[in-house]
Amino acid sequence: MALFHVNESDFEEKVLNNSKTVLVDFYATWCGPCKMLAPVLEELADEDDSFDIAKIDTDECPGLAMQYQVSAIPSLMVFKNGSVQAKTMGFMQLDDIRDFVASVD
């Protein structure tokens, strides 16, 4: 699976037009729970290639955060076929994230 950073200029290409399901992590560098979530997402990326993971820094991309009504971070959203299929907020364990993504298939 690919884990990559996305910004406002490549969001449409890498997330909305992606042929795979994409788990999007809205985060900030100063956010404690976001820092705890980062290695969990990296582990998931290393072991599962059925979907992609995109990371969006809300401080660098406030327009995307506003567009998708991110009110707390970390916020995880599952995009499929260009639209949000599921969303959740806060830190999650590896198995919970797997179940969250699988819930949209």
Active-site residue set: 31, 34
Tell me the backbone φ, ψ of residue 70, rounded to 5 degrees. Answer: -75, 110
Tokens of 103: 């819930």
- The answer to whether 76 and 87 are in contact (CB under 8 A) is yes
